Amino acid sequence: MDQIRRVIIALAAVLVWALVPNAVQAEEHELVITHMEIAETNIRPKVGDTVKFINQADIAHNLYLTYEDGTVQNLDTQFPGMSKTAKIERSGKVVVRCWIHPVIRMEFDAADAD
């Protein structure tokens, strides 16, 4: 009886694991903002992943992401020392800019989710 119960519990655990794939597979990528730029990195996030922007500058920024279809994702004001996280919504080229400092600009490619 105990063995059957253990097998049922194991099967239930596998089923739960299979039903929540994205929550388990999503990755977090990190980008650091120095004074007036975003430190060069080669991130390649997938849709559903998050990108964490860490403000190590001594000035405030307000980053926003623009997707290929024109959709804008605004991260709001980010004071020195603050981190903001964006969940990637669409695949393709993503441009990151700052409303306050137009000189800040970087881009990365987002891949489709698995």
CB of 61 to Cu ion, least distance (A): 3
Nearest CA to 55 out of 71, 28, 69, 35 is that of: 35
**With respect to Cu ion, which residue has the nearer C-beta, 26 or 95?**
95
**With respect to Cu ion, which residue has the nearer C-beta, 55 or 108?**
55
What are the residues whose beta carbons fall under 8 Å from the beta carbon of 74, sequence distance 6 or more?
62, 64, 99
CB of 100 to Cu ion, least distance (A): 4
**With respect to Cu ion, which residue has the nearer C-beta, 29 or 101?**
101
97: number of Cβ within 10 Å: 20
**With respect to Cu ion, which residue has the nearer C-beta, 29 or 61?**
61
CB of 104 to Cu ion, least distance (A): 5
What is the spatial distance between Cα 63 and Cα 18, in angstroms, rounded to a whole number?
35
What the block records as the tokens of 54 is: 């860490």
Binding residues for Cu ion, rule: CB under 5 A, are 61, 98, 100-101
CB of 20 to Cu ion, least distance (A): 36
CB distance 75 to 98 below 8 Å? no
